[in-house]
Structure 1
Amino acid sequence: MANLLLIESPGKVKKLGQILGSGWVIKASMGHVRELANDGEDALGFDLGTDSINCRYQPRDDRAQKVLADLRQAVKAADCVYIATDPDREGETIGWHLQQALNLKHPRRVVYSEITSQAVRAAIAQPRTLNQSLVAAGRARDCLDKLVGYTGSRHVVWPLNNGAKSMGRVQSATLHLLCVRERAIQAFVPQDYWSVWVTYGEGFKAFYRTSPKPQRPPAKDAEDKGAEQESERVTSQERADQLVAIAQAHSHHVLHIEGKQATQAPPPPFVTSTLQQAAGSKLHFSPEHTMKVAQALYEKGHITYMRTDSITLSAPFCESVRQYLEQHDPTNLPRQTTRHRAVKGSQEAHEAIRPTDVNHLPQHLQRELSAEQARLYELIWNRAVASQCAPARLRKTRIVTQSGDAYWEARGQVLEFAGYTRYWNNLSADTVLPALTQGQPLQLEQAQADAKQTQPPPRYSEPKLVKLMEQKGIGRPSTYAPTIKTLRQREYVDLLQGKLQPTALGLELDGALEKLLPDLIQPEFTAQMETALDAIATGDQEWQAYLLNWNRNYFAPAIAQAKSQLLSLPTFAEHPPAPGGKSSERSSVTKAKPANGQPTKTKCPTCGEAMTKLPSRSKKMKAKHFLKCSGPGCGTVMFWNAKAKRYELPQAQRQALSSDLFTDHPCPVCGALLERYAYTKDGQDKVMLRCSLLENRRGKCKEVAFFQSQGEFWSPKFGTLKLSAPSP
């Protein structure tokens, strides 16, 4: 019999097999094997009790069921089982699911952040138990995401009848960032201005300044480091012409020369977000593709784990880089090991992304790697080595000239010592100014004013959006790329010329959510949830108590309020906001049928309104359409069952709409079917009839209550119904 090592990805099997040798069986779970079932209220798969949460899990799909069957056989044949899922919360949670699904009593949890012989053997030599706090955080995230996604989608998004398929805790907050920027672009009104400058025969260009005192130049983005300099903005043609005339009419001389030496510290090594940003700007990889290529490098043992927000490097690696520099680049070796300040809010669970061996130079792996893998590995190697190098030294020069009462400024920068930029150059090209002396007269060659216009804020590229998500605390390293992918798949955003632009549907949905669930889409609100999950992961917060309180105090009331507001959306649509306001809140976010919907004769089993036939692009559906209720505030959907040759509700809702629950009698106020409601009073089991629509029961139908009495149902307000009670 052998030891059994359970991992996530089959891509690691070969490398781990070479490391561990005979006596080991390595099996992959193929990622997640279980998920919350699609049953219960809103198909959540869990019940929110008074003080506890009951979760029901099922195999993720048919493949996962077959994987679990294979793993059970492997467990029976093993002496000892080790769980080596990925070294993060998600990996810990997958390990817990494997333990539960395979009935493992005492699995040994091993964690390594690189697939090297030293790291893997060291981890196996020091196994631990599953970290229940990390598992709790993973389970809480799963429940929280499904609660928001499923409940919000069914009760808020679907009733909009605008073609939107879903909302989500991270997804909707990220969409809101894009829509806020898009509305700012739409509302932007360009302003004219002029940039005034002069050139001198001595060989340099200077820009207009109102004062000879140094002004802080506007910060430049790393992607825009080649952007042209400008003068202080002149807001009228008259003033611009006046400044040109002053420059031409008066002599020029050097008023002030300032020179100083500055140092530029090396950047930290990559974390998930910065890797995605750099791969996007330098290699033109999408975040999703970056992670796919990085996964392959990790599985081959070339880099450390690529889902991380820690900029920490291990002491042995730092020492190996110092030895490499001492041998190959001794002038770039700092006196002490370089330390970088951690990003606020990072989990610091494990190392930054780095090569597993600094001596595996990019050029040495060209034959072993694909072209894309080689390019990404070179990026990671260069950044990791640069992070441990000496700072760059710059000579910065500032020259102020004067003509009449106008001042002109030129700035120069020369790299005197390259330092870390030999491996990672993030500096602008040198700008060399001539050697001048104070008071020296200058020969004017040209004076000119360039007419310009202010530009709207730019749309975000995918790497820029990842950076913003990280800054705002939305999601975590493992969620950045999947969230952007979902937004594109849902057709809420398009990628146009490398920039993410919300579609009309995305703007409509965000506008509706901004009215119906305003807190949930705010980045700060989503970041607070991430902070709570962090507290659960460190054992400082009990996950069930957090989720129950969050639902009780915020989410359930917010959904109820949103459902009541949905009923008034037609009125809302009749009064659109003023120009420049929230333009996405338009009349199409109402009960009106989509333009491509077809009315049918099928009645809604919930409220009795006619169902509308809508097209679907879902690959999971055999039929290319589904039915959706056209009634206000309902949102019921039905799908075609080819075997039964009829439309059916989603499986989770069929039991709730059984014949024993619903009557054939309409509610006297709203017309929805009356439902039977069982309760206990004075120790006796009783049945009453009430409106079947929850939102109406809390509003206009709250007085609809028929009490059972001798085979009849009686209401103090609506009289008697001749309806037989179901047999006990």
Structure 2
Amino acid sequence: MKSKKANSNNNNLMLFIVESPTKSKTISNILNSFNYKASVVATLGHIKDLPVNNLGVNIKDGFKPIFLFLPYKKKIVNNILNKIEDKMSIVIATDPDREGEAIAFHIANEIKNYIKLKNLKDIHISRAFINEITYNGIKKGLENLGDINVSMVISQFARRVSDRLIGYKISPVLWQAFKLKGLSAGRVQTATLKLIVDKEKEILSFKPRTFYTFKVVVDINNKKVEFNLMNKEKEIFKVFENEKEKLDFIELKLRELISKEVVFEVLNEDRYIKPLPPLKTSTLQQEAAKLGFSASKTMSIAQRLFEGIKIKDKHFGLITYHRTDSVRVSKEGIELAKSILGDIKIHRFSDKSMFDAHEAIRITYNLDLNLLRNYLNQEEFKIYLLIYNRFLAAFDYEAKYYYQVIKSNNLIDDLYLFYESGKIYFNGFLRFLPDYINNFPIFNKDYIDLKDGVYNFKIIDFKVLKQKESYPSRYSISSIIKKMEETGIGRPSTYANTINTLLKRNYIQIKKNTIYPTEFGIKVCDFLISKYKELLDIDFTAFLESKLDDIEKSNKDIANKLYLNLLTEIYNILLSEKKGFLLKKNN
């Protein structure tokens, strides 16, 4: 993006265009502090979309989309256009993502047409990326103005048109098959439904086996300590119900060991637990789901926190932009962490995301939590606290603990006794995330005061525990989002809408945060995958997402070629129902 200057006109007239009116007053005050005579206006989201009642894609003209004004948006756009005058800087600061770029593209075209129609002079149109609604966030955006990223717009068009082609061509087939209008099929929703249906089928076909494990009680300095009986693969030793001779043999050998001393080795070492990275969209949704929030509810609250609130007659944008795949933190964010923590540590976090346009989700000000609690409702405060704690934890020090292993020599063939425990001696980042310790079972065991060395301890008893294999777990909201991210289904910004669509169509039900496919959902999924597997399964959805990324990262000419190639291939499959064609191409 080439840098431009916003104040190229002497009168400093500015029209600043955003998506949401909530943040208008804050931005207006900040712009006025920069000596701009600024009007801040909002598009209220997208102004144009494909038509509702027809395909809206000119297939013969290179799959050219036909965008129409959404209801009531023509009036909003006219209000924006009427504010334009000669010698004005127009800054389009819609949200910094693909959807925001498409909105910027459409409003910029309307502005250009209006300027030409009215013969206005000396108008400068620029694109600003605002990652946080703060003084520094706005200042940074104005210092780095550029042009609309046309490749990003083409990528958004490719997503919209591909989804329209697939949905528009397949949904009528679905209506006919089930004699019910209003059903929908889409590459993301069907791939997600297939994950849920496949899990249900796995559960229904699962036949749990009964097995036995062994706990051996050892006297260590007059303390009864339970050891696991382990195999040479370092797994808890199991005997299945149909292995009665083996079970009898193990019990016999363990009885023979009662009251006998056995040689054990004790090993102690210092270990640490690395902090978790700050939140991105998918992990925010996952963590919020553990608190009972749906993905759509989480994103709605995050939007409000991003747009900000008024505290004592001053407006504060509370978090950075909440649609991001990155765990990177800006220099401003690092300085903020330093101002709060004093002493910080920079950690390297590995992240598979290819996107790094925006930083992680973080707080934007050092605000007193007790004060903030008075201005946010309970739900908003919970989400803010999630973001606050993960951000600060990411810059804190590792938690340190003593790790201990007590292990016997081989007792029965290759079987041995094993005990491990841990004891935290420096909390580090755990002061912000105390519940994270629950992910480590070793801290639920007693840490025994023993130095490294070889000891003789007496076996005093054993227990045979009868258990059954656990059924596979159904997806929760948190785990389905994690699975969608891992398999490349959709993007974090689409997860909430995908789950909501499946609920609305009665394809799934959610009970106590557990997702069940309905009988109807299973039938729909099986029908769609049997007929359009190439377009609707998980592999294709991940493949398409990678192609959209390729379009976004290309220059305009290559992006247009990739757009045409991708949509041509999708359309050919829809026409011919070929199998194995698209995924083999360009591998």
TM-score (norm 2): 0.85
Cα distance, 1:435 vs structure 2: 3.2
**Separation (CA, whole Å) in 2 of partners of 1:559 and 1:409:** 62
Aligned to 2:80: 71
**Separation (CA, whole Å) in 1 of partners of 2:101 and 2:534:** 31
Name the amino acid aligned to 1:468: K
Name the amino acid aligned to 2:538: P
Does the CA-based 8 Å contact 1:170-1:483 persist in structure 2? yes
CA pair 78-248 structure 1, distance change in 2 beyond 3 A: farther
Aligned to 2:384: 377
Aligned to 1:572: none
Aligned to 1:209: 230
CA pair 179-562 structure 1, distance change in 2 beyond 3 A: farther
**Separation (CA, whole Å) in 2 of partners of 1:169 and 1:403:** 54
Cα distance, 1:440 vs structure 2: 3.7
Name the amino acid aligned to 1:55: P
The SS at the match of 2:544 is helix
1:114-148 per-position Cα deviation (integer Å, ceiling 9, x unaligned): 00012113322442121111111111111111111
CA pair 506-496 structure 1, distance change in 2 beyond 3 A: same
Question: Which structure would you say has the larger RCO, counting Cα contacts within 8 Å and 6 or more residues apart?
Answer: 2
Aligned to 1:37: 51
1:321 corresponds to 2:321: no
CA pair 72-390 structure 1, distance change in 2 beyond 3 A: same
1:47-106 per-position Cα deviation (integer Å, ceiling 9, x unaligned): 1226x2332211122x32332232232335993322110011110111111122343665
Aligned residue among 28, 40, 46 for 1:26: 40
Does the CA-based 8 Å contact 2:405-2:420 persist in structure 1? yes
1:196-228 per-position Cα deviation (integer Å, ceiling 9, x unaligned): 1122342321111134xx72x6xxxxxxxxxxx
Aligned to 1:289: 297
Which of the two has greater helix per residue? 2
CA pair 440-124 structure 1, distance change in 2 beyond 3 A: closer
Cα distance, 1:412 vs structure 2: 0.7
Aligned to 1:480: 495
**Separation (CA, whole Å) in 1 of partners of 2:114 and 2:254:** 84
Higher Rg: 1
Aligned residue among 154, 161, 171 for 2:178: 161
CA pair 193-133 structure 1, distance change in 2 beyond 3 A: same
CA pair 141-280 structure 1, distance change in 2 beyond 3 A: same
Does the CA-based 8 Å contact 1:308-1:351 persist in structure 2? yes
Aligned residue among 65, 68, 89 for 1:58: 68
Aligned residue among 489, 496, 505 for 2:511: 496
1:363-393 per-position Cα deviation (integer Å, ceiling 9, x unaligned): 3311122221112111111111111122222
The SS at the match of 1:305 is coil
Name the amino acid aligned to 2:141: A
Name the amino acid aligned to 2:394: S
Aligned residue among 281, 305, 309 for 2:321: 305
Cα distance, 1:416 vs structure 2: 2.4
1:526-576 per-position Cα deviation (integer Å, ceiling 9, x unaligned): 11111111111112574443343334334433444389xxxxxxxxxxxxx
Does the CA-based 8 Å contact 1:7-1:27 persist in structure 2? yes
1:152 corresponds to 2:159: no
**Separation (CA, whole Å) in 2 of partners of 1:303 and 1:284:** 21
Aligned to 1:131: 149
1:521 corresponds to 2:536: yes
The SS at the match of 2:160 is helix
Does the CA-based 8 Å contact 1:110-1:126 persist in structure 2? yes
Give 5+ residue unaligned stretches, structure 1: 218-230, 564-728
Does the CA-based 8 Å contact 2:154-2:552 persist in structure 1? yes
Aligned to 1:417: 426
Does the CA-based 8 Å contact 1:247-1:403 persist in structure 2? no
Stretch deviating more after TM superposition (530-539 or 400-409): 400-409
Matches within 5 A, 1:686-697: none
Aligned to 1:83: 92
CA pair 149-159 structure 1, distance change in 2 beyond 3 A: same
1:434 corresponds to 2:439: no
The SS at the match of 1:316 is helix
1:152-177 per-position Cα deviation (integer Å, ceiling 9, x unaligned): 212x3222125470101211111111
The SS at the match of 2:577 is helix
The SS at the match of 2:82 is helix
1:447 corresponds to 2:462: yes
Does the CA-based 8 Å contact 1:3-1:23 persist in structure 2? yes
Cα distance, 1:276 vs structure 2: 0.8
Name the amino acid aligned to 2:209: Q
**Separation (CA, whole Å) in 2 of partners of 1:522 and 1:38:** 26
Does the CA-based 8 Å contact 2:210-2:469 persist in structure 1? yes
CA pair 446-74 structure 1, distance change in 2 beyond 3 A: farther
The SS at the match of 1:532 is helix
Name the amino acid aligned to 2:348: R
1:667-714 per-position Cα deviation (integer Å, ceiling 9, x unaligned): xxxxxxxxxxxxxxxxxxxxxxxxxxxxxxxxxxxxxxxxxxxxxxxx
**Separation (CA, whole Å) in 1 of partners of 2:247 and 2:85:** 85
Does the CA-based 8 Å contact 1:252-1:403 persist in structure 2? no
Does the CA-based 8 Å contact 2:393-2:429 persist in structure 1? yes
1:465 corresponds to 2:472: no
Does the CA-based 8 Å contact 1:176-1:521 persist in structure 2? no
**Separation (CA, whole Å) in 2 of partners of 1:446 and 1:275:** 47
**Separation (CA, whole Å) in 2 of partners of 1:259 and 1:173:** 48
Identity value in percent:
29
Cα distance, 1:402 vs structure 2: 5.8
CA pair 20-363 structure 1, distance change in 2 beyond 3 A: same
TM-score (norm 1): 0.69
Name the amino acid aligned to 1:546: L
**Separation (CA, whole Å) in 1 of partners of 2:294 and 2:41:** 30
Does the CA-based 8 Å contact 1:195-1:450 persist in structure 2? yes
The SS at the match of 1:415 is strand
Give 5+ residue unaligned stretches, structure 2: 1-10, 116-123, 309-316, 580-587
Name the amino acid aligned to 1:398: V
CA pair 553-82 structure 1, distance change in 2 beyond 3 A: closer
Q: How many pairs does the alignment contain?
A: 531
Name the amino acid aligned to 2:521: G
Does the CA-based 8 Å contact 2:267-2:404 persist in structure 1? yes
Stretch deviating more after TM superposition (449-458 or 159-168): 159-168
Name the amino acid aligned to 2:400: R
**Separation (CA, whole Å) in 1 of partners of 2:263 and 2:536:** 55
Matches within 5 A, 1:547-562: 547-561=563-577
Cα distance, 1:430 vs structure 2: 4.7
Aligned to 1:546: 562
Does the CA-based 8 Å contact 1:115-1:299 persist in structure 2? yes
Does the CA-based 8 Å contact 1:355-1:381 persist in structure 2? yes
Does the CA-based 8 Å contact 2:271-2:401 persist in structure 1? yes
The SS at the match of 1:198 is strand
Aligned to 1:259: 268
Aligned to 2:210: 192
1:584-640 per-position Cα deviation (integer Å, ceiling 9, x unaligned): xxxxxxxxxxxxxxxxxxxxxxxxxxxxxxxxxxxxxxxxxxxxxxxxxxxxxxxxx
Stretch deviating more after TM superposition (15-24 or 71-80): 71-80
Aligned alpha-carbon RMSD (Å): 2.5
Name the amino acid aligned to 2:177: L
Matches within 5 A, 1:357-368: 357=365, 359-368=366-375
Matches within 5 A, 1:267-278: 267-278=276-287
CA pair 360-241 structure 1, distance change in 2 beyond 3 A: farther
